[in-house]
Structure formats: structure tokens, C-alpha cells
Structure 1
Amino acid sequence: MTVEACAEDTKGQTCYICTQALHWKTKEGLVRGCACRGTAGFVHVSCLAEQAKILCDEAEENNLDIKAKNERFRRWQECSLCEQTYHGGVKCALGWACWKTYLGRPETDEILLFAMGVLGSALSAAKQYEDALSVREASLATRRRIGAPEESMLVALGSLANSYHQLGRLEETNRILGDVYSRHCRLSGEDGESSLASAYNYANSFSELGRFEEARSLSRKAIPVTRRVLGKNHELTLRMKWIYACALYKKRGATLDERREAVTTLEETARTAQRVLGGAHPTAAGIEKALRNARDVLRAQEILQPRTFSRG
């Protein structure tokens, strides 16, 4: 199904890993579900899975440190060429491939826990939200049972909050994300990458609840830190600016200047997202949609705003 959806885009291309149009063993076609542009990024899901497995196996065999292992484990979720997260059907297919690769391991194995997380994300991508919630609840329970480190617990809690959000349980989502954010800040400081990611999630949950002032305040605080730590073109930086601008124009009683700032911010962010991620990427598409909405709101307010005249 994923191959069929990508058929037009992949026509006449070859896999960048095995260099073939059809996979030699499975006879599957090509896909592309990342931010690669032009002739880059065409690949077989089976090749991606085999590549990720080989890298992870090497990390285990050579007893690499946790940072090196995490870099390799990310190949189950991120493109090695553009380094952006997979999305759509490719993300879902890789999630199942990851789970099938490691499901026979004991529950104390960190790679099994990682595979559960990848599967949960894959099920969410396929909109199988109840199934994703079941996997994530099992993952959190396993971590608690084996006494997993704080970092591992926070990853599981963040994933659980995502499932609650997808099922419309927004108050529970916000409560968990607030806890996750504060614990990340205690663990690695406000400028830690995990803290910045949880700050985005927490700000977004405020926005989902219509608590726009809290969303604006948190995202405004985090934007310069995210830009400094990750770079101005990083997806999280773009998402943080997206949240800030939306909170700014959506809040009750927003002034014309605030809504103009929101439109300007979204215009700049949309251009960057299009260049860095590509127009088909969900983040780029979401920012474009927010920009259209912000422009509509601004235009309506400009029409209704009473004009003032100076007396001559």
C-alpha cells in the first residue's frame, strides 16, 4: 500500500541502498517518506530495515556507548541522507519491521523497549490510536517493573501523552506533559534537547486546550534557546515558532499588531520549512495551513477595526 502511494514519485528511480528498482528478494517497489529532494531518498522499506538492523547489531557487538547506540537506533526512524524523521506509510512500515526484528528479546533488553516505542509511533502514524495506546501503556508498565532509568521513563510518558492527545483526552495530556517537561529540565537543564522537545509538546498542549497565553509564553521563552542549541532551520525550531505564532493570533483580544506579528512569523517559518523539509512534509504543510488561517483572521480584523482620525 505504501509502495502504491509512492508509485508516481518513484517511477524510473532506483534504491539508494541496493541500487535496484525492485528489491531482489521481496520484489517490492520503492518509497520515499522523508525530506529528501530531487533524485535522492528513493529506497525499499526492506533495505531500510536491513540497514538499521546491521547498524544496531554492530553497536551491540562493539559495545558502543549509549550516544553511539542512539545514533544508530535512530535509523529505524530517521533518514540517513536528510536526517529528517520518516512520515506516513514509510514510518508505519518501518515500525512494524523494527518490532518484528526484536520482539523475541527479554523485557529488560533496552532494544526491545526501543522497538516498543517505534511500534507505538508507527501505529499512531497509521491512526490506530487505541492500539498505539495499548503498546505505550505496556511499555511504561514494563519500564516501571524493571526499574528503568529516568530518561527511559520520560520517553515512555511522553509517548503515552501523545496517545491521550490523539484520543482527545487533552487534560490528561497536558498534566503528563507538564510533569515530563519539569523532570527533563531537572535532569538536563532547560537547554537540553529533550527539555526543548518537551517544552514544545507542553506548549502545544496548552494551545490545544485554548490556553493560548500560556502557549505563547512558553514557546516565546523556548524559541531563542532552541535556535541556539539546534539551529534556526531545525524542525523543532520551526515547530516552536509555529506554536508561538498560532497562540499569538488565536488568543482572545489579540491586537492588530500581534496578529500582524503572527502572520510575519508564519511567512518566514513557512519559507524555511518549504526549503528545508519540502512542501509535502507534514510540518511544512501544517505551517502553510496556519499561515492561511492567520491571514484570514488578520484580514477580518483589519476590516472591522474602527479607523481613528486626527482632528485638524
Structure 2
Amino acid sequence: MILTTCAACAAPLAHDAPRCVRCKLRYCNATCQHDHWRRGHKQMCKKIHRGGNAEQYHADKKYKEAVAEAVEACADDTKGQTCYICTQALHWKTKEGLVRGCSCRGTAGFAHVSCLAEQAKILMDEAEENNLDAKALNERFERWYTCSLCEQRYHGVVMNALGWACWKKYVGRPETDQLRQIAISILGNGLQNAEQYEEALSVQEAELSMLRRLCASEQSLLDTQSNLAISYLQLERLEQAVNAFRGVYSGRLKLDGEEHENTLIAANNYADSLNGLKRFKEAKSLLRKTMPVARRVLGEGNEHTLKMRWVYARALYSDPDATLDDVRESVETLEDAERIARRVLGGAHPITKEMGNDLGTTRAVLLRACETLSPPGSA
């Protein structure tokens, strides 16, 4: 998480809370600051200041931890490989190992987080230096979270490491800076990918508060509210999640229209949260309306189309009033979607794996239903 709580007592902080004059560490009040100084901050203050002050020092530390975690998690996959950017097994400067958290297969896609981050930084520095337009800027910024080879998003702990890399690059800029605003969003998404939902929630709440202070666009507010709602859902704060997703879906319909990718993503998130509250009929009704649009507009192999079909299959077989035909439809939907996910995203992708797990569950439900309905003595 970023520094949103008092360094002495861990209470939530206002964005303009008092700070240490030297290292910029923030506190509730002067009492907390004096107490923290006596408890050891005196010995750390100069070191934090030399490291770029509190937020930068913290970001650098968390980045190193995230890289180490990503390298360890990818160790079996990356054994004997080399980085496609620097062509080395160990990074020449950091001595870090390799990662691969995208949809590349075979011997493609192995890299050091440091190399991926450096690649993204160079592209963005060039874009700013040459005053490229917003479209070009956004395309280049995708390198912070999208593989340049398979063009799929990174996931899991690799995305988390890149999120911290991006944040530590832009954290020193004013909060009015556009790239800093995007960086905090990428950090929140990275924490979500690594299943660090409490930390993600803290970052996203800080982001939303910042955007409201800056009177940001409705588009930016909806993006952040959607990410916040996902964290609510993962933390099983279901009523908050449903209310937030309903608001985002309504906002997307008005802002973007029913065929826009953002609206379709919002619809699926809303349906998933309805499943969480066991409001299966509402989820199925919404998805039957939006799935055909997603398949036509985004395509069968699109990640969001696959997620939508997955959520629909869950609603079908989880409903206690499900008929045998409902369960069969759930199995058929998951079989088709999982096959496409395996082809497009690869077998190692979290979506493919989790979809496969759900397929096994659904087949077991179908088998039990068939046995229950089979007449005595039948084959």
C-alpha cells in the first residue's frame, strides 16, 4: 500500500496531514510525530530523506519485495531461460531472476521486471520529450501492464511488481500530473492481481479521494469506482460491492452506451457481484442481455467476453432452482469458453485455470443431477 496512514498510530490520514520537515513522512498531529521520533524515526530520517523522501523510499522498498516475490513464483517456469530484452539469465545490475506473467508460450516472453520497466520508461520519456498526442501516450503507457510480444496483460505477482515499478517512477510528481494519476491506478490493479486486496483497497480509496479533489472526468471516476468495487467483492463486502457496481454500470450506460467495452465490463462485474449475493435470476437476466453484445462487439476470444460467459455459467449451476437443462447449458458454456481461453490466453493463465476448476465442479453437479433424475434400474 502507499502511505495513507499515520506512521506512529496507523490512523487514516488526510491528504494534507502534517509531515516531517526533512523526510516528508506524515502524521496525524505533532504528538504522533514527536512520539515516532523518540521511538526510532530519529535514526531513519536521514536515510529516508536520502532515498527520495518517504513515498519514494517506501515505493523503492516495496518494489524490491514485489520483484523478489515474482521471481520466486516464476522460478520453475523460467529455469534455463534468458531475458528477451537483455538476453541474460541474471540482470546485469540487480542480479534478479526472470519472470513470465503473460500469455506467451514456449521459449517466448521471459524477462526481468527491471528490463520491462526500463522498456516502458524509455517509451514514455520519448513520448513526453516529443509531445506526442494523448492516443500515442496511452498506447505507450500500456507497456507498464501489457506484454509487447503476446499483447496480453500481465497477471498475478508479475503485474504487482510492474505496478510498484510504475508507481516508483512517477510518485515524485505532483498529484495533478496525468502520468502519476495513471500510475496509482496501475499500482492498485497490480495489488489486486497479487490478491493483496486490503492493500489494493487502501490505494484505490486514496486514488478516488485524489480524483474528486482534482474534479476529474466522469470517465476517470468510474474507472476508479469500478476497481474499488472489485476489491469490495474480493473482501466479501458484498452489499458495498453490488451498490458500487450498480452505480458504475448505470454511469457507463449513460456515458459510453450499451455496446462500449467499458459498459460490458461493468455489466459483467455487476452480474458477478449479484452472484455473490445469490441473486442468480438478476445476474442471468443481465447477462442474457449483454453476452450477445460482447460476443459480437468484442469477439469470442476477448478476455472480457470469456469472463462474462464464465460468470453466466456460475449463475446457471449455482442457482438452487436450476433445472437439468440449466446445468447442461452451464457445462456446455464453460467447455466452449475454457477451450477458447486455453487457445487465446494459454493454459497457465489464471482465467483458464480457474475456469477449468469451475468446469470440473459443474460436471460433477450435472452428474449428480442426472443420477437423481434417472429412474430406478436404468442403465
If the length of structure 1 is used for normalisation, what is the TM-score?
0.94
What number of residue pairs does the alignment pair up? 308
Q: CA deviation at 1:68?
A: 2.4
Partner of 1:279: 347
Partner of 1:192: 260
**More displaced 10-residue stretch of structure 1: 58-67 or 162-171:** 58-67
Partner of 1:269: 337
Which protein has the larger Cα radius of gyration, Structure 1 or Structure 2? 2
**More displaced 10-residue stretch of structure 1: 55-64 or 219-228:** 55-64
Candidates 174, 188, 209, aligned match of 2:277:
209
Q: CA deviation at 1:7?
A: 2.1
**Letter of the structure 2 residue corresponding to residue 2 of structure 1:** A
Candidates 236, 255, 264, aligned match of 2:323:
255
Distance 1:130 1:8 in 2: 29
Q: CA deviation at 1:298?
A: 0.9
Change (3 A) 1:199 1:62: farther
Partner of 2:157: 89
Identity %, equivalent residues: 60
**Letter of the structure 2 residue corresponding to residue 279 of structure 1:** G
**Letter of the structure 2 residue corresponding to residue 235 of structure 1:** E
Q: CA deviation at 1:306?
A: 5.5
Partner SS, residue 14 of structure 1: coil
- 1:268-307 equivalences under 5 Å are 268-305=336-373, 307=375
Q: CA RMSD in A?
A: 1.5
Q: CA deviation at 1:134?
A: 1.4
Partner of 2:66: none
Partner of 1:160: 228
Candidates 132, 136, 139, aligned match of 2:204:
136
Q: Deviations over 1:22-66 (max 9, x none)?
A: 212112111101110111100010011111112222232333333
Candidates 150, 153, 161, aligned match of 2:218:
150
Distance 1:134 1:213 in 2: 33
Partner of 1:170: 238
Distance 1:216 1:6 in 2: 37
Structure 1: unaligned runs, 5 residues or longer: none
Q: Deviations over 1:255-300 (max 9, x none)?
A: 1111111111111111111111111111001111111111111111
Q: CA deviation at 1:190?
A: 0.8
Candidates 216, 221, 227, aligned match of 2:289:
221
Distance 1:218 1:68 in 2: 35
Q: CA deviation at 1:8?
A: 2.4
Change (3 A) 1:306 1:38: closer
Q: CA deviation at 1:307?
A: 4.1
Show structure 1 runs of 4+ deviating over 3 A. Answer: none
Partner of 2:167: 99
Partner of 1:71: 139
If the length of structure 2 is used for normalisation, what is the TM-score?
0.78
Distance 2:361 2:216 in 1: 44
Change (3 A) 1:148 1:292: same
